[in-house]
A and B are shown apart, each in its own frame.
Chain A
Amino acid sequence: MSATEIQSPRSGQISGKPESGKIAPKYRRGGSSRGNFEMAAWLFMRLSGVVLVVLIFGHLFVNLLVGEGIHAIDFGFVAGKWADPFWQFWDLAMLWLAMLHGTNGVRTIINDYAEKDSTRFWLKMVLYAATAVIIILGTLVIFTFNPCPVVDGVQLPGGFCPA
């Protein structure tokens, strides 16, 4: 073997155990505190992406292309959907997966383009704060929603009240 030959990290030549398949310590990336976070994030983007294609295409089809389309969307339309646990769960899954998928995408973009450490840090803090607010707000709205709002004993018009 010549001295200049470059070994693959997995060749086993460096660790001295041929074909061991283990990565030599000096080629191992990431500190112990980071763990496998980036790998998990990469996998999450692909798994959530497939699910989101189904959830969002279904959402667009039912809300925009069926019946009267966008003209049918009003308070009663939303109330009618969320009277059904199926659509509550659909929208909840869509909210969480889309927000986490989008937040991780924007996190990647911030890491790519913001060169100053402090800029990168604060942009990501703003991003995470916005994400937390939107996820918590959306989840509360789906589960505390009242299809038949009553103020001072009077039903608000446009509600979806049982007869």
Chain B
Amino acid sequence: MDPVPAPLCCREVYSVPTKPAGTLYRGREGMWSWVGHRITGVVIFFFLLVHVLDTSLVRVSPEAYTAVIGAYKNPLMALGETGLVAAIVFHAFNGLRIIAVDFWKKGAKYQRQMLWVVLGLWIVTMVAFSIRHLSLALGGH
């Protein structure tokens, strides 16, 4: 018995790239979002180790904690914090996209469109966060 292809009417239509790009997956949105998810994940993990250590100084003495946390309160660190939050927000939104790809019936079909939604929400969130955080961190005081 020869395998019979599904009739055209019933095939799922996936958005297949028209330009040659190595393979369907490699070098495209799927791969780059995966690369971004890995890099932001590692960055967040190493910050988390440091952040638990610096917060633990509250157990040493109030001065020790306030002195070290004071090192966060300068313009360079304000930019660093903004970068860290950018990594966290991307990892969070893309993580929700991964969950949709895995658990939503049409997740795999719409994974590319969902990445653009992730990036759109990421930009909106980061513009709002940056305005508020940088004006607090850099202004006044």
Interface residues of A (CB under 8 A from B): 1-2, 5, 46, 49-50, 52-53, 56-57, 60, 64-65, 68-71, 73-76, 78-79, 95, 98-99, 102-103, 105-106, 109, 130, 134, 137-138, 140-141, 144-145, 149, 156-159
Interface residues of B (CB under 8 A from A): 1, 3, 38, 41-42, 44-45, 48-49, 52-53, 55-56, 58-59, 61-63, 65-66, 69, 72-73, 78, 81, 85, 88, 92, 95-96, 98-99, 102-103, 129, 132-133, 136-137, 140-141
Q: Is the CB of B65 within 8 A of A78?
A: yes
Q: Kindly count the residue-residue contacts between A and B in the assembled complex, taking CB atoms under 8 Å apart.
A: 114
Q: Which residues of A contact B53 (CB under 8 A)?
A: 134, 137
B95 to chain A: closest residue by CB: A49
Q: Which residues of B contact A53 (CB under 8 A)?
A: 92, 95-96
Q: Is the CB of A56 within 8 A of B88?
A: yes
Given A1-B1, A149-B62, A50-B48 contact (CB < 8 Å): no
Q: How far is the CB of A123 from chain B (nearest CB, A)?
A: 13
Candidates A49, A79, A98, A134; contact of B58 at CB < 8 Å:
A79
Given A60-B88, A99-B48, A158-B38 contact (CB < 8 Å): no
Question: In whole angstroms, how far apart are the Cα atoms of A99 and B136 in the complex?
Answer: 29
Q: Is the CB of A73 within 8 A of B69?
A: yes
Q: Is the CB of A70 within 8 A of B58?
A: no
Q: Is the CB of A95 within 8 A of B52?
A: yes
Candidates A50, A79, A158; contact of B96 at CB < 8 Å:
A50
Q: How far is the CB of A9 from chain B (nearest CB, A)?
A: 17
Q: Which residues of B contact A159 (CB under 8 A)?
A: 62
B140 to chain A: closest residue by CB: A71
Q: How far is the CB of B141 from chain A (nearest CB, A)?
A: 5
B1 to chain A: closest residue by CB: A1
Given A1-B1, A70-B137, A73-B69, A78-B81 contact (CB < 8 Å): no
Q: Summarize B's interface: helix, strand, loop or mixed.
A: helix
Q: How far is the CB of B97 from chain A (nearest CB, A)?
A: 11
Q: Which residues of B contact A56 (CB under 8 A)?
A: 88, 92
Q: Is the CB of B72 within 8 A of A105?
A: no
Q: Which 5 pairs across A and B sit closest by C-beta, in order of nearness?
A: A69-B136, A158-B62, A75-B62, A102-B45, A49-B95
Q: Which residues of B contact A145 (CB under 8 A)?
A: 58-59
Q: Is the CB of A137 within 8 A of B52?
A: yes
Q: Which residues of A contact B78 (CB under 8 A)?
A: 70
26 residue pairs of the A-B complex, CB under 8 angstroms, read: A46-B103, A49-B99, A52-B92, A56-B88, A60-B85, A60-B88, A64-B136, A65-B133, A68-B136, A69-B136, A70-B72, A70-B78, A71-B73, A71-B140, A74-B65, A78-B58, A106-B41, A106-B45, A130-B49, A134-B49, A134-B53, A138-B55, A141-B58, A144-B59, A149-B61, A159-B62
